[in-house]
Structure 1
Amino acid sequence: MQNWGEAGLLDHCESLRSDATWVAAQWASPQALLLAVDELGRVSAGEGLTVPEQSPHGAYDAQRHFLLGLAAGRPVFVQAGETDAMASLRELMPVLDDADRELVVKAVALVNWHRTSPHCSVCGSLTVVTSGGLVRYCGGCRRERFPRSDPAIIVAVVDADDRLLLGHQVAWPTGRMSILAGFVSAGESLEMAVHREVGEESGLRLSSVRYVGSQPWPLPRSLMLGFVARAAGTRIEVDGVEIEHARWFTREELTAAEDAGEVSLPGSASIASRLVAEWRSGELPAPEG
């Protein structure tokens, strides 16, 4: 999985996309590509889970056709809709290269924003799409509205013996476990959210917290912010509402539980998988504290 820590490969064309004539010319380019995103957040896919070589067709409609940017010089657009072959981000992200992975994530994020936020959040007026799809303009407020991301923390908690804490959510299938996560509340720092969520879900206090990295997850519009933290103790008291049970694992215990079919971990598309994998390899040192 890409760790999302490098510069993006997609050119957003910030200085050009406000020119509607230029954007329309990109739609008409013989090199242009068109992706589709359906109501479930699935993306049009080519054979073997690839980004399809689908060209735009018909007249350009600024309210329906959104320019993601230029990928290696090729204009890439997205629209809400469905094609014969659709695939989820969980299917696509582990197999696509960095450039195409960035495309499909941005495609889902942008279509979801337009689908769920057509009206101004202040005055309620219907907004119109501008800047090739990256802005919605409110005529009532005379202000521009931009896509938003909801910050959520996800944290690998380890104890003094370097055991990893995994929890099982009430709504999950039997055996599925992962590290703890939750949304950041209003007026709360990321670190405060880490302490609060871990305390609420497991009853543990943390002695230290360290930021690791982030990952966009546009279902619906989350930005996952990954941390590693050291627990001040080992006594677990789950909330019973969101987390049904939790336990500490050594590396050997986790491998044995997976081999026996007792535990299933997050898919490789997720930052949770990355954090667990780095802990298993010894590449995720917890902060001292």
Structure 2
Amino acid sequence: MLKYSEMLLDRASNQRKSPEWLASQKNNNSRWVLTHTDQNYFNKANNAPLFLTLEAVQLLDLEAAVFLGLDENNDNTPYFALDLTHVDEALVAAFLVEGEFGDLRKVAVILDNQSASLLALARGLGFWHRSHGFCGRCGTVNKSATAGHARLCTNPDCQHQTFPRTDPAVIMIVRKQFPDGIERCLLGRQVEWPEGVYSTLAGFVDPGETLETAVAREVMEESGISVTNVQYLASQPWPFPSSIMLGFIADASSDDIQVDKHEIDDARWFSRAEIQAFGDWGDDAPGFKVPRRDSISGYLIDHWVNLGE
């Protein structure tokens, strides 16, 4: 199961529209997920996620909470998210005794997938609320609506609703059989990545474009390689800040790499044997390294490697 893809809470899409029902869920059984500037809240001692009780968050503005869902496997426990980015520092400091705010991606691999998925959702919705403070039609201030799953323009003559944004991006493992009989895959790297890290190519889908066309265009733009036989494999929520990653495998019909330095830093063909000798992201040892293990990129690379077994 891909990381961040196991958000099993019942989102209660119909019930959450009722203010009375929503208020009833802010009870002593509820659990509260804190975020701050795109970071999640963890135990200082062991990096375990901290889900707080109603009592622990009473001094915060609970009207600003985003309803995440009901845990049907645990007495329908309601989960809410609260973003503290713009909360008074003195209030935030009270939560920094036991816990701390940190980068979810740095600890995701040690978390169970349900917790990682829940934290990712809270992070993504917090970012969306902060970046959509004003109406895109008339410029008036927006307010949270529908339990945090919409933003409503406060101008009575407009009342335009905005919904959480998800930007589709394609990510692909490209393969080719070479004259020496060895099949290789195409990986690239960004200049800002740690030295030696190579990953699958990826890019956003343009308006009016099919996913298959986006795969071919992105591969051509970044590496100069043309592809055919584009096949969908899997998807992954990616709220960093607001994407859905759509994973594909494709066959290359050319092999002469022409890197566009405005797109990526480098691209190369790798055999299965070479990839199996890769180190991990964060390793100090020199040499090639795979991307972070929480990414669908690792899944796509593993999928291709396993096809050769």
Tell me the TM-score normalized by structure 1.
0.89
Distance 2:259 2:33 in 1: 43
Alpha-carbon deviations, 1:254-288, whole Å to 9, x = none? 2335397311211111111111122222289xxxx
For 2:169, the aligned partner's letter is A
Q: In the alignment, does 2:191 pair up with 1:188?
A: no
1:278 pairs with 2:283: no
Residues 1:115 and 2:122 are matched in the alignment: no
Residue 194 of structure 1 aligns to a residue whose secondary structure is helix
Partner of 1:125: 140
Partner residue in 2 for 1:102: 117
How far apart, CA to CA, are the structure 2 residues paired with 1:177 and 1:273?
A: 10
Distance, in Å, in 2 between the alignment partners of 1:78 and 1:283 is 44
SS of equivalent residue, structure 1 residue 17: helix
Aligned to 1:264: 289
Deviations 1:11-47 (A, max 9, x none): 11112111222212212x22211111111x2111235
- Provide, for residues 56-105 of structure 1, a one-character-per-residue CA deviation record: whole Å limited to 9, x for no partner: 32267465211111123111111112642223221343222232222111
Instruction: Tell me by how many angstroms 1:5 deviates.
Output: 6.9
Provide the residue aligned with 1:19 in structure 2. Answer: 18
Moved more, 157-166 or 230-239: 157-166
Work out whether residues 5 and 213 of structure 1, in 8 Å CA contact, stay in contact via their aligned partners in 2: no
Q: Which residue of 2 aligns with 1:77?
A: 80
What is the alpha-carbon distance in structure 2 between the residues aligned to residue 166 and residue 222 of structure 1? Answer: 21
Asked if 1:243 is matched to 2:240, the reply is: no
Number of positions where the alignment pairs a residue of Structure 1 with one of Structure 2: 281
| Aligned sequence identity (%) | 36
Aligned partner of 2:142: which letter?
Answer: T
TM-score (norm. length: structure 2): 0.84
Alignment pair present for 1:229 and 2:260:
no
Partner of 1:10: 9
Which segment is superposed worse, 130-139 or 78-87? 78-87
Task: Please tell me whether the aligned partners of residues 4 and 114 of structure 2 are also in contact (alpha carbons under 8 angstroms).
Answer: no
Instruction: Show structure 1 runs of 5+ residues with no match.
Output: 285-289
Aligned to 1:45: 42
Cα 1:35/1:222, change in 2 over 3 Å: same
User: How far, CA to CA, are the matches of 2:266 and 2:13 in structure 1?
Assistant: 47
Deviates more, 1:124-133 or 1:137-146: 137-146
Call closer, same or farther: CA 1:255–1:155 in 2, change over 3 Å. Answer: same
CA distance in 2, matches of 1:196, 1:283: 27
Change (3 A) 1:5 1:116: closer
Instruction: Give the Cα–Cα distance (whole angstroms) in 2 for the partners of residues 229 and 121 of structure 1.
Output: 38
CA distance in 2, matches of 1:283, 1:18: 50
**59 and 144 in structure 1: CA distance in 2 versus 1, 3 angstrom threshold:** farther
CA distance in 2, matches of 1:121, 1:251: 48
Per the alignment, in what secondary structure is the counterpart of residue 103 of structure 1? Answer: helix
Letter in 2 for 1:38: H
More divergent stretch after superposition (59-68 vs 91-100): 59-68
